[in-house]
Amino acid sequence: MNYDKIDKKARKILQENDRGLYTVPTKGLYPYQWNWDSAFAAWGFSTHDPRRAWAEIETLFTGQWDNGMVPHIVFHKQAIGYFPGPDIWNVERVPHTSGITQPPIAATMARAVYEADKHYGRVHMELMYGRLVSWHRWFVKYRLHEGMVVITHPWESGRDNAVDWDAALANVDGSNVGEYHRRDIDHVDPAMRPKKEDYDRYLALVQFNRDCGYDEDHIRDHGPFRVADVGMTFLFLRACRDLLHIAVELDHGVDEIEGWIKTLKQGVERHWNPERGHYDSVDVRTGAFTNSLSSASFLCWFAGIKDDRMLAHYDRIVGQVDFGIPSNDPEDPHFSHLRYWRGPVWGMVNALIGIGLAETGHTVHAERLRKQTQKLIAEHGFWEYFSPLDGAPAGGPQFTWTAAIWLTWASPHAKGRF
């Protein structure tokens, strides 16, 4: 296998998806700047172009709201036909943005970019620090429930149609959203994407949030969907720990961030489903566990939770598939190996899980996962996601975050860690 050639291809994908100061996830399917996609892109750029890496993060934060929230999409340039576009979100600001957020991994990736070149990155880290703190404060103020991070729309999780949301979404009325055309199924086989009934409910939630002026207090009290997402809690805990490291590095105060970490660690225990024996999401409206064992449940190690309780599930699942951790337990009756977040494996989730395993001492597990992901991408290409059963590529091709995690973690030439 010519890994030098694959490294070159990964860098070329970042270049092809580069729009000057930000990247798109892939051409056609996703024509704007997505929040956590850009954080991964910055990490990828940091392997060979720190200047471009910082531009990615700084451009993402041009979309930050006055209340600190960083939206999940920033609409820098018009892309005809994309749905739902800025006209649907109707956010009164420039650049136009969506009205919801996404997994808060920017602090984690900013730290990684900084560590790659501290000399160049120092001034950029100083300039970004306050913006990162503001976003974290927004989460603490509006999105913590008993120490768990709450989402008000499935898209905020980054795992749009995960099984975690099924019960809560059943209470969302999507019958009156009107006619619309989805651009995603013009580019990708509809069998690989969320179903129409899912999308109707997604749009109903967009309309609810928009019609109340994105009032977080109103959404908290009256919104039809409110789920404590185990993946968001783990990723936010990790991000707060990385922000703490940055604060120490820059000689800023740490008491506030340490308080957040303490609260989130308490929240982690509330995500433990004792009957099922795994970390789980919680429907805040009912208090019930979602009874979903997804790839997000294995982000515990990335969050710094030095806990062996998930290893039995991990070993069981990787014993059934060939390419890492699928987005849904293969034994779940809703498992679908090619439908978005209901079964496929995602390279960037493998990377986060693998890094967490290595950092918490599970080095054999970590290296096996890295090798599996290396083989998957080397043999099947830089796709959005893949079948965990046979590696069949799915979703969008030439995908930014798959190229990024190849350069930073999966390639034999990568450091394989932060």
Please tell me the predicted confidence (pLDDT) of residue 417.
Answer: 64
Residue 200 pLDDT greater than 90, yes or no: yes
Q: Quickly state the pLDDT bin for 237 (edges 50, 70, 90).
A: very high
pLDDT tens digits for range 371-397: 999 999 999 999 999 999 999 999 999
In this model, does residue 416 exceed pLDDT 70? no
pLDDT digits (tens, 9 = 90+) for 79-98: 888 999 999 999 999 999 99
Three-class SS of the chain = CCHHHHHHHHHHHHHHCECCCCECCECCCECCEEHHHHHHHHHHHCCCCHHHHHHHHHHHHHHCCCCCCCCCEEECCCCCCCCCCHHHHCCCCCCEECCCCCCCCHHHHHHHHHHHCHHHHHHHHHHHHHHHHHHHHHHHHHCEECCEEEECCHHHHCCCCCHHHHHHHCCCCCCCCCCCCCCHHHHCCHHHCCCHHHHHHHHHHHHHHHHCCCCHHHHHHHCCCCEECHHHHHHHHHHHHHHHHHHHHHCCCCHHHHHHHHHHHHHHHHCEECCCCEECCEECCCCCECCCCEHHHHHHCCCCCCCCCCHHHHHHHHCCCCCCCECECCCCCCCCCCCHHHCCECHHHHHHHHHHHHHCCCHHHHHHHHHHHHHHHHHHCCCCEECCCCCCEECCCCCHHHHHHHHHHHCCCCCCCC
pLDDT, residue 80, reads 83
pLDDT above 80 (res 160): yes
Q: What are the pLDDT digits (tens) for 322-376?
A: 999 999 999 999 999 999 999 999 999 999 999 999 999 999 999 999 999 999 9
* pTM (2 d.p.): 0.97
Active-site positions read: 160, 384
Looking at residue 355, what is its pLDDT? 97
